[in-house]
Amino acid sequence: MEKRYFTEQEANELIPEIKRELGSLKRVTQAFSEHYEQLEQHKKTLLFRNKTKVDEDLLFKKESRMEFMELEAQTFIRNILSIGVKIVDIESGVVSFPSFVNGVEVELYWHETQEAVSFSREALQAHELTKEDDQV
């Protein structure tokens, strides 16, 4: 897939879509973690007693559900990546948009609590260099 670059406006216009996909991804990963913890607890309790058919069925159902959740998460990740956005941190809700500022490749960052993208340190430095050039 060809790398895509975004203007600040293009990135901001994609925020509602990214927000939905990232929110769904976070819900699935949280549910996966909870199921995993429950599964591990159940396995620990089985160490102290004989495993029954009911136990085996329950373990199979939980493991199957987790496999489905993993596929769901992969779908949300693919959806986000197909837009051209990079996932920085799922838990924190941070993504980045490749961009150019004054000919310098930079990243525009967005956190799920923000209304709009913000510039990376590199983008701000490139912007400051342009300001200095304008003043000369």
Tens of pLDDT, residue by residue over 66-83, are: 999 999 999 999 999 999
Structure confidence at residue 128 (pLDDT): 56
Average pLDDT over every residue of 27-51:
88
Q: In degrees to the nearest 10, what's the CA dihedral of 43, 49, 50, 54?
A: -60
Global confidence as pTM:
0.78
Output the average pLDDT for the chain. 86
Q: What is the pLDDT of residue 81?
A: 95
CB 111 within 8 A of CB 93: yes
Q: Of 13-22, 89-98, 118-127, which range is least confident?
A: 118-127
Which sign, positive or negative, has the C-alpha torsion 51, 55, 61, 65?
A: negative
